[in-house]
Structure 1
Amino acid sequence: MTTALKEWSAAVHALLDGRQTVLLRKGGIHEKRFAVAADEFLLFPTVAHSHAERLRPEHRDLLAAAQPDSTNDHVVIRAAAKVVAAVAVSDPQGLADIEDLHIWTAESVQADRLDFRPRHQLTVLVVQAFALAEPIRLTREPHYRGCTSWVQLPASAAVGAPVHDATALAGIASRVRAAVS
């Protein structure tokens, strides 16, 4: 079994496309808080919350490409990620300074990340994304459902070269810490 983080399918495509280097996490409804369950993981695509109005207009093209990766019958795993930094947000206003590192609108960050479960701390994950050498198609199983961050998958995969190198991501991690810590 391999650990996988549930993430919007459009965000997975943005990570692979180099448009995104951070994930904003609070944990799902069934979690007390978000915790990093693995430093390296697969990205499990979801579409339940991938509404066009939640993405900045210049990134809405990702929705069409991402839609087939998560259906009622199957999921297609295309990416893996490695945690470079997990930064707890103590200054939410600093999120505006890092909006170029993700695809979401300011309104979506506010409503879906900050206002959702307001007593829970938001974490910015700086991640190094990798395309899988071969995408993995899995039949959708009932235990993949639910509002949780992590799932265990009966799969493992070889990865290709990272989308961004470690030096660039170290600089991004420093920038995130300066903005939100």
Structure 2
Amino acid sequence: MSDPSNETPLEAEACTVAFKEWAAVCDALCDGKVDLILRKGGIHERRGKFRPEHDRFWLMATRFHQDAADLAPFLRGSLPTPPPEGVVRLPGWCQVRKTWRISDEAELEALRGRHALSDETALQRFHYKEPGLWAIAVKVWGPEAPVEIADSPQYGGCRSWVELPGLPTAGLQAVQTHVPH
């Protein structure tokens, strides 16, 4: 495990992309409890399938379909407090370290503890429609306090990626990951 305290984000300009994810998963990433996102895709994805289109993005915390029972046991008691009505919370910014397609369910066992989903939920998603999941290993950067922006209809729907107004990444601090690799 390296010490990221002296690292700086590669993108010091503005980032205009957000990745929608359950608030509890965002918090686990921003707290360094996990470093991996598992994704199948949303109803509104192109052709109904997720694609890892971006290598840098803000995390957009959502509660859509979030259920504590779907989280890994070590996260079930940590559902975050929602932001005020009409506000969207962006708790961190990510740089993708590696993206790959999981095509063998046995690989999920090897990734336990690196992602925030329960074993049952990961398997359920793996087998939904056709076998497979995307794995996205990330380096997370956090602001002193989560960034909050006004909600907009363009952020709605069951999709992974949304366009944002350009939000600066300068001054973000690297999150120390506590996940064994």
After TM superposition, the score normalised by the length of structure 2 is 0.81
Deviations 1:34-82 (A, max 9, x none): 222221110011111221111133212320xx2314x652111110001
> Whole-Å Cα distance in 2 between the matches of residues 85 and 48 of structure 1?
26
Deviation at 1:154, TM superposition (A): 1.4
Bigger relative contact order (CA 8 A; separation at least 6) = 2
Pick one of 149, 153, 163 that aligns with 1:142: 153
Corresponding residue pairs, total? 164
Query: 1:16 touches 1:131 (CA, 8 Å); kept in 2?
Result: yes
| Among 69, 81, 93, the residue aligned to 1:80 | 93
Is 1:162 equivalent to 2:171 in the alignment?
no
Unaligned runs of 5+ in 1: 173-181
- Does residue 1:103 correspond to 2:107, yes or no? no
1:19-168 equivalences under 5 Å are 19-31=33-45, 32=47, 33-63=49-79, 66-69=80-83, 72-111=85-124, 113-118=125-130, 121-158=132-169, 159-164=171-176
- When residues 82 and 122 of structure 1 are mapped into structure 2, their CA distance, relative to the original with a 3 A threshold, is same
What one-letter code is carried by the residue in structure 1 that aligns with 2:36? V
Matches of 2:110 and 2:96, distance apart in 1: 21
Larger helix percent: 1
Q: Give the distance between the partners of 1:57 and 1:90, measured in 2 at CA.
A: 24
Counterpart contact for 1:21–1:101, Cα < 8 Å: yes
Q: RMSD in angstroms over aligned alpha carbons?
A: 2.2
The residue type paired with residue 156 of structure 2 is: R
Measured at CA, do residues 122 and 61 of structure 1 come closer, stay the same or move farther in structure 2, by a change above 3 Å? same
- Per mean C-alpha deviation after superposition, the further-off stretch among 128-137 and 16-25 is 128-137
TM-aligned CA deviation for residue 134 of structure 1: 4.5
Give a deviation string over 1:96-130, Cα, whole Å, max 9, x none: 1111112211111122x2133326x4110000011
Q: Percent identity?
A: 31
Q: Which runs of 5+ in 2 are unaligned?
A: 1-14
> Partner letter of residue 94 of structure 1?
E
